[in-house]
Amino acid sequence: MTLAMTFKPDFLERSRRMSGLKTDAAFAGAIGVSESVLSKAKRTNIATPAMIVGFYRSFGFTPGEVAEVTDVPDKDVKQAEMEASA
C-alpha cells in the first residue's frame, strides 16, 4: 500500500451534479483533463495534481475540499503517475 491523495467520498459525483454539466466529456473538459483521466479517477479514486488544480480553477474548490491522504494499492498509484506524465 502507498499513501496518495484520494478524492473525498462521493466528491466526483457531487461536484459533477453541482456543476450542471451533463456528460463526462464536458465535466472532464471543465476541469482540464481528458475523459480517460476522469474515468481512471472514478475507478481508482486517486486525485492527480492536475485534477486538484482544475477543480480550484473551474469551481473554486480548495485542495482540502477535494481530497485527503489515504492508503491505496500500489498498482493504482503507478497507473495514475503514468497517466499524469503522458
Q: Say whether pLDDT at 85 is over 90.
A: no
Domain count, the chain: 1
Name the residue among 57, 53, 45 with its Cα closest to residue 13. 45
Quote the pLDDT of residue 24.
Answer: 95
d(CA 76, CA 30): 24
- The DSSP code for 32 is T
Q: Give the burial class of 59: count Cβ atoms within 10 A of its Cβ; 0-12 exposed, 13-18 middle, 19 or more buried.
A: middle
**Summary count for the chain: helices (H), strands (E):** 6, 2
Task: Kindly report the number of other CB atoms within 10 A of residue 65's CB atom.
Answer: 15
Quote the pLDDT of residue 86.
Answer: 61
Question: Residues 53, 63: contact at Cβ < 8 Å?
Answer: no
Q: Is the pTM of this model over 0.85?
A: no
Domain span holding position 49 = 2-85
Q: Say whether pLDDT at 83 is over 70.
A: no
- Residue-wise pLDDT tens digits, 13-56: 999 999 999 999 999 999 999 999 999 999 999 999 999 999 99
